[in-house]
Structure 1
Amino acid sequence: MSYPTVTAAALTAPLTFAGIVEQLRDTFRAFPDCRKPGNNTRYTLEDTGLSAFSVFFMQCASFLEYQRRMVENQERSNAQTLFGVHAIPCDNQIRHLLDSVPPSAVAPAYRYLFNGLQQNGYLDKWRVHDYGYLLALDGTQHFSSSHIHCEQCLTKTHHNGTVTYSHQVLTPILTAPDKPQVIPLPPEFISRQDGQTKQDCEINAAKRWLAQWGADYIPLGITFLGDDLYCHQPFCQAVLDAGAQFIFNCKPTSHTTLYEELEGLEKIGAIRTHLVQRRMGKHSVTDTYRFATQMPLRDGDDALRVNWFSLTSVRDDGKCLYHKDFATSHPITTGKVVDLVKAGRCRWKIENENNNTLKTKGYHFEHNFGHGQQHLANLLAALVLLAYLVHTVIDLMDERFRTLLQKMGSRERLFDDINTLTTFLCFKSWTALLDFMLVGLERRHQADEIEQWVVK
């Protein structure tokens, strides 16, 4: 299968941190303003949005507080020089001004960043032969409370009558085998929809995402990945109708008709098998790939036909190391089953490399930075996700940042050092900050060199 490529003539100017900040300014400037005409508008929406974003980008809840002190002492701050914030609102003002902004208002920033990566060739290595881009779907919770709630909250009533309020979000990513990074895509929030009395759910959010964003990504060639929740005919058919393909986990407990058919094939030896032997330390491991074609996804004459395959890895001492079943719309042969499993297994990265990173690696995704009464909780979560995407973008495009990240070992540790520096020194630009750190690591900085990067 062939997919469209970008010619050299179509390439845009290289992505830069300054260019990203300018695009964010344009995006935040278009936020709806809850203030009535004539009210005090000392703080603009773009300054408010950039201020909130800077907290998540810097992975420091106190970043704005430190920059306000710097303004008092030096009349300038890193909020201004790095993020272009002219006047820093207080935390309560930020929450008030952003509460009425739906998270969908951040969409232009996602489009800008993805288009920049795509058109400048950064995503070429994410394309998987025969399968295009692998787009994984998964939902995760980013807020839970028994007291704080808003109209957007999901609710769960327990046996004792108490209620838990929560916010959840669908967090799509692009992933690829052997790639350490994932590319976050626009989120879709799982929250009560206008005019609906029923609770929202992850699969409905996925359908909305497909309807809203499918036209942006599917023409590039997309294979959707997901757990068993997605491996049901309505969503699989929606993916196919949109022009994409899928590889979904497939469980026997939720696909009785399919596994009854497999049981019949098993009895007559009609399930194809491919064995691979490999070494793992002192042990040998046998990978058993099994597959069958044109299996019914559900009961009935209108059942969608899919291709089923599985991998079971067993060590020579009898211990089962791995087992997973999949269903796909892609053709399957003995020569393709290994690559199909490799692609399908990339789904775990949305949990480990994306959702787990957001919750445990400095992004504080589940922290309540402010809940509000309308959209605040979801908008702030969208800004956290956007900060994570920008980190990934500069990791791909900026060799200085990548070098520092390699030396520090993690983004969390790198930003700890960045926050220490920006608490006391005002840097002329993001590039100047990185140069200062690189020279410092090489232990050859002198007092006169510091003047190149620090605002006096």
Structure 2
Amino acid sequence: MHNLNSLFKIDRVPSDTHLKRYFRNSRIQSVSTIISKTFSYIQRSKTLEQFEFMKINGQSHYLLATDGSGYFRSEKLVCDCCMIEEHFDENNKMTLKFGHNILAGSIVHPDLKQVIPMCPEPIMRLDGSSKNDSEQTAFRRFLADFKREHPKLKIIFLLDALYANGPIIKLLREYGYEFLIAVKETKSLLFMSVKEGETTGETQFHERVFESGEKVIKTTKMNYRFANNIRLHQDKESPFINFVQVKEVTEWIGKKGKAERLERNFTFITDIAVTKNNIVQLAEGGRTRWKIENETFNTLKNRGYNLEYNYGHGEKNLTHNFIMSMFLAFFVDQIQEISCYTFKKLVEKFKQKSSLWSSLTSAIEWVPLSSWDQFYYLLYYREMPPETG
């Protein structure tokens, strides 16, 4: 209790029952207000500037990657907000599974390990509806909330192929957002138009070759293909978009003298005019979407936050507010890692975040502390700082 007061100014600790009662009846938006206010401080303190991806018309733009993920599944526990899925076994016997999903978004940068998580949007059945919610419907709510909370922030949304459709692109344009949306290579009008453009000159190319590695030298060849103002689909209402594609081939000699080769292809559609001056940057930006999976969801599930742990299913907003609180904790930790020198050194020393959290918890439980400086000194040097005076 002493440390909670000296470090966090907490006088009383709520019981488990009281905390669950409070979370059950609290609005989900309560946590988003805290994140939004803290994010405003990040903007004022210039911390956000290191995440600037590119300037468009002289204005700083940032990458925001979004994706959906499940965090609770059960065949027995169910609430009014649970998504319901039908599963059939090899004998065609149906089993109902209940669960909760969430749509998350994080500001990312190709050169930074850290991310800035924004307030997530629950994917759930709303107001007693008998129909399941969907990721795209949740994304529409996410967009509306994000625009209201950050009306002047210039964003390039990084999205997967689920969002490569006219209604979503129209919505993004209405809100004034740019986008880089991954698409799968098919025999659609889009790819046929790009192929035809190779003959007319409307499709352009760019190439880049570089070497990397010390003991094992790898040669990477990047072949870019791009085109502007192409209709996405065949119908007349389909939007015009710009096309970005990169084919990456890396070759090297393996340990046993065997020639090795790795080929990867990435294709995106965008609202940003593509030129030879920005094609490399745009392709790199589109590929950064993986950070929402690895640096956000994977971190929350496997590196000490335990996203998929059942903290309490309960009723009303209980499970959603537990998840919102977890995102708030992750948000604070990421901001510390971005802007606090001492916290950065702790992360480097412990290497694994889970080890840092374990030591942090033990220190708070067993050692009387008077300040954060003393706390961080203890964690780093494994001893109390020398007394002064």
Q: TM-score, normalised by structure 2?
A: 0.89
Q: Identity of aligned pairs, percent? A: 27
1:389 aligns to 2:331 (yes or no): yes
- Per-residue deviation, 1:212: 1.6
Question: Which has more helix, going by share of residues?
Answer: 1
- Find 1:98's aligned residue among 12, 23, 30: 23
Partners of 2:11 and 2:44 in 1: how far apart? Answer: 32
CA contact (8 A) 1:138 1:350 kept: yes
- Residue 263 and residue 197 in structure 1: after superposition, are their counterparts in 2 closer, same or farther (change >3 A)? farther
Gaps of 5+ in 2: 252-258
CA contact (8 A) 1:99 1:375 kept: yes
Give the alignment of 1:172-191 within 5 angstroms. 172-191=105-124
Partners of 2:274 and 2:356 in 1: how far apart? Answer: 44
Name the structure 2 match of 1:125.
Answer: 50
For residues 108-163 of structure 1, give each alpha carbon's deviation from its aligned partner in whole angstroms, at most 9, with x where no partner exists. Answer: 11111100111001011111222501111111111111111111111101222211
CA contact (8 A) 1:218 1:243 kept: no
SS in 2 for 1:137: strand
For residues 366-408 of structure 1, give each alpha carbon's deviation from its aligned partner in whole angstroms, at most 9, with x where no partner exists. Answer: 0001111111111101100100001112223322222222222
- Residue 276 and residue 426 in structure 1: after superposition, are their counterparts in 2 closer, same or farther (change >3 A)? same
1:289 aligns to 2:224 (yes or no): yes
- Find 1:142's aligned residue among 49, 71, 75: 71
AA in 2 matched with 1:364: N
- Find 1:272's aligned residue among 204, 215, 222: 204
Tell me whether 410-419 or 330-339 shows the greater mean CA deviation.
410-419
Give the alignment of 1:227-238 within 5 angstroms. 227-238=160-171
1:258 aligns to 2:200 (yes or no): no
Question: Which has more strand, going by share of residues?
Answer: 2
Name the structure 2 match of 1:364.
Answer: 306
Give the alignment of 1:217-232 within 5 angstroms. 217-232=150-165
- Per-residue deviation, 1:346: 1.1
- Residue 444 and residue 145 in structure 1: after superposition, are their counterparts in 2 closer, same or farther (change >3 A)? closer
- Per-residue deviation, 1:358: 0.4
For the aligned residues, what is the CA RMSD?
2.1
Partners of 2:8 and 2:53 in 1: how far apart? Answer: 36
Tell me whether 190-199 or 263-272 shows the greater mean CA deviation.
263-272
CA contact (8 A) 1:309 1:326 kept: yes
Give the alignment of 1:54-453 within 5 angstroms. 76-130=1-55, 132-159=61-88, 160-194=93-127, 196-253=129-186, 256-266=188-198, 270-280=202-212, 281-316=216-251, 319-438=261-380, 440-441=381-382, 445-446=385-386, 448=387
SS in 2 for 1:278: strand
Gaps of 5+ in 1: 1-75
Partners of 1:286 and 1:235 in 2: how far apart? Answer: 34
Partners of 1:445 and 1:161 in 2: how far apart? Answer: 62
Partners of 2:9 and 2:122 in 1: how far apart? Answer: 29
CA contact (8 A) 1:113 1:393 kept: no
Give the paired residue count. 371
For residues 63-114 of structure 1, give each alpha carbon's deviation from its aligned partner in whole angstroms, at most 9, with x where no partner exists. Answer: xxxxxxxxxxxxx432333333322232233222321223212121111110
Q: TM-score, normalised by structure 1?
A: 0.77
For residues 303-341 of structure 1, give each alpha carbon's deviation from its aligned partner in whole angstroms, at most 9, with x where no partner exists. Answer: 211011111111346834321100000000112110110
